[in-house]
Chains A and B, each alone.
Chain A
Amino acid sequence: MTLPSWKFTAKEIVKKPELFTSGHRACAGCGPAIALRQIMKATRGPTIVTNATGCMEVVSTIYPYTAWKVPWIHTAFENVAANASGIEAALKAMKRKEMYKGTIDVIAFAGDGGTFDIGIQALSGAAERGHDFLYVLYDNEAYMNTGIQRSGGTPHGASTTTSPAGKVIPGKTQFKKPIADIMVAHEIPYVATASIAYWQDVLMKARKGLEVEGPAFLHVFAPCPRGWRYDTSKTVEIARLAVETCVFPLWEAVNGNYSLSPQSKIAALKPDRKKPVIDYLKMQRRFRHLFNPSFEHERIVIQERIDKRWGKLLKKCDMA
């Protein structure tokens, strides 16, 4: 990949018009809303957006209002990648007939439910076909729009309304699906993870995803105060802590070549700077039960799994 010809400075970004505007009805402190705002600041020109059913779709287009200043379409939950495929195909056909000039970018937004679970078939198909679009997964780790049900993106130990922490079961018993690695396995040109705590990194990666020819997948970590049960002011802090604890490391894979992003390189180069997962868990009441003596072991299990995944990632990045 050539060196980027763009740079994102705060001064430049605050001047850029809002394409995802105020007046949307996301909860106070919504992480995904931050993700969408940031990504829409990374666009390079005419852009069409499609949204899967989910929090961001619902809160941004409560009829007759819309928070979108770009052409936008929602059709269903499991098919946002097929929407993007259709839009991109239409644009190609129109270009062939010289109905427009230049480039029109296509961005698909979906939550974790719409990506890890019900939307993975359409996503996989679109990736295999090689449509030129950026798929953004805003991951708040459960079906928040419908009332905090567990998804394939929910982490181990989290209590949700369908994986409640009970007397014998400590919340979700399975581990989070490594969705970004699954997308790398599709051999698409660009896959990256990002956290809303590092806005420049989010913008850079979104822009890279738009610039590459073919499918790009951006997995954005976006905490949810309502579902994770923490004070609304802590959204960005938790998003940062997830990176610092290597719960959610930041990396990108350009044409399948993994590299750690600067924020995660710190933990790789100076392992003593890698914070313990417990720091992250204790800030969120979805993990509260893990601090009962009966479930104490789960915290060890979680730390071990995080370390194992981190070790695997370091190997992929040639940093082991």
Chain B
Amino acid sequence: MTTVQQQETLALNGDEAVALAAKQSDVDVVAAYPITPQTIIVERFSEYVADGEVETEFVCTESEHSALTACLAASATGVRTFTATASAGLALMHEILYVTSGCRAPVVMAITNRALSAPINIHCDHSDSMAERDSSWIQLYVENSQEAYDTIIQAFRIAEHTKVLLPIMVCLDAFFLSHTLENVKTLPDKKVKDFVGTRQIPLVMGHEGKKVPFKLDPKNPITIGPLALQDYYFEHKRQQEEAMRNASGIISEINDLYSQLSGRKYGNGLTDPYFLEDADIATICVGSTAGTTKYVVDNLRSRGIKAGLLRLRTLRPLPTSDIVSALASTKAVAVMDRSHSFGGYGGPLFHEIRHVLYDTQPHPHVVNYIYGLGGRDMPQNDIQDIYIDLQKIQQNNAVENYVNFVRVRE
């Protein structure tokens, strides 16, 4: 058994925690473009470069589109890459998100979740990354800056795992995390470097009739990013689905390995249940709202109310069986969406969770709360009100409104 590593506690905001984790992970190329809530990540990283603290090649591109492209191309050349973005920047990357996962380039990207324009707004909601659920990127959502730090370190090992080879978004709430100071326990540089290791490049059958490293290498030339038509495109996409399925196990495995080093563990890496074993009512959310919700759950529990919380850490791949088992005892659950699918039936998380529960019998009532768009605060009282609603649903065994908008003025 290994002993938990001694750690230094630093006062860091979420962005600084991310930048430090990327620095310690021995990243070869960082290509980025500044955009408000994540700008500090890029700034801190630039300082590491300027002070000679890293060997990283830092490319300050003219757009997010080029930032991700440069990371993708650098990754295809065989090195470790990192970038960060938010909101409009992620939207501008949209096209290249699909190309990155399709080329199986394990780029790690921090997303400081922020509302999409218009009206333009720099504050937190999840509209940006929720719009990219189908891009074949692994999506991990963190609750606090400590987890942001830990997850960036884990992300390189997950993405670069030869059974995965998919890019990862590590999503942290803008301002609530990105700009708020928090005590963050940090590992020594060497320990992180050893944990992440050097990037493993798998072998692939090339066009010269032999297996060669899957990278742009003049010694063993391969062609990446061809035109594949009706005869083969679909097979490539099916491969990506398999990689996603493999990722579930790898995320859990790395969560365990990391806990041996750091003493910190986030559920099973996929879901992070809180007082769910015997819960009658529960909320489900991603991100920093979980922190406030845990406080509310503690209060409710102290009053004998069987309340719980399911924090989804991994949205892609969706941990379907974990969600089902975590909510097994519940009678009524509220899915908390910090983004909305306009004209759809509730927000994106609602779609995911309700859909997963469809085949379970009996299943709880599943309702949706859209909250906090554009950075509107979600205080404990509002969260508590949702639990009170759930109690009513449980008592009446009936739902009045499936989709609710929290604290929006009429």
Binding site for B on A (CB under 8 A): 46-48, 50, 57-58, 61-66, 68-76, 78-79, 81-87, 89-94, 96-97, 104, 121-122, 124-126, 128-129
Contact = CB atoms under 8 A, between A and B. Distances in A.
A129 B60 contact: yes
13 contacts: A46-B218, A48-B216, A71-B222, A73-B73, A78-B65, A82-B61, A83-B69, A85-B73, A86-B29, A89-B70, A90-B75, A121-B62, A122-B65
Contacts of B224: 72-74
A124 B62 contact: yes
Contacts of B70: 82-83, 85-86, 89
B209 interface: no
Interface string B9-45: 0000000000000000000110100000000000000
A66 B29 contact: no
B73 A75 contact: yes
A62 B227 CA distance: 5
Contact of B99 (A50, A76, A85, A90): A76
B227 A63 contact: yes
B225 interface: yes
Contacts of A68: 221, 223
Given A65-B207, A73-B224, A125-B61, 16 more contacts: A62-B227, A63-B231, A64-B226, A66-B207, A68-B223, A71-B217, A72-B216, A75-B73, A75-B96, A76-B96, A82-B73, A85-B69, A90-B28, A97-B55, A121-B62, A129-B60
B356 interface: no
B228 interface: yes
B57 A75 contact: no
Interface string B53-74: 0011101111101110111111
List 8 tightest A-B contacts by C-beta distance, closest first. A125-B62, A86-B73, A86-B70, A46-B218, A61-B226, A82-B66, A90-B77, A82-B69
A76 B62 CA distance: 17
B232 interface: yes
Contact of B66 (A61, A63, A69, A125): A125
A85 B61 contact: yes
A308 B237 CA distance: 53
A205 to B, nearest CB: 22
B79 interface: yes
Contacts of A87: 73-74, 76-77, 216
Contacts of A70: 218, 221
A62 B66 contact: no
Contact of B57 (A62, A93, A126): A93
Contacts of B57: 89-90, 92-93, 96
Contact of B62 (A46, A63, A84, A128): A128
Task: Kindly name the residue among B56, B63, B73, B76 whose own CB sees the greatest number of chain A CB atoms within 10 A.
Answer: B73
Contacts of A82: 61, 65-67, 69-70, 73
B222 to A, nearest CB: 6
Contacts of B69: 75-76, 79, 82-83, 85-86, 122
A47 B218 contact: yes
A75 B103 contact: yes
B78 interface: yes
Contacts of B79: 90, 93-94
Interface residues of B, number: 47
A71 B72 contact: no
Contact of B72 (A72, A75, A128): A75
A90 B29 contact: yes
Contact of B63 (A48, A90, A97, A121): A121
B278 to A, nearest CB: 51
A73 B221 CA distance: 10
B65 A79 contact: yes
B95 A76 contact: yes
B229 interface: yes
A86 B55 contact: no
B228 A63 contact: yes
A175 to B, nearest CB: 26
B218 to A, nearest CB: 3
A320 to B, nearest CB: 36
Given A62-B229, A75-B225, A129 B73 contact: no
A250 B131 CA distance: 48
B59 A89 contact: yes
B158 to A, nearest CB: 21
Nearest to B67: A82
Contacts of A46: 218-219
Nearest to B100: A75
B228 A94 contact: no
Given A66-B207, A72-B221, A86 B31 contact: yes
A121 B75 CA distance: 22
Contacts of A124: 62
A257 to B, nearest CB: 27
A139 to B, nearest CB: 22
A85 B215 CA distance: 16
A66 to B, nearest CB: 4
Nearest to A48: B216
Contacts of B232: 63-64
A73 B225 contact: yes
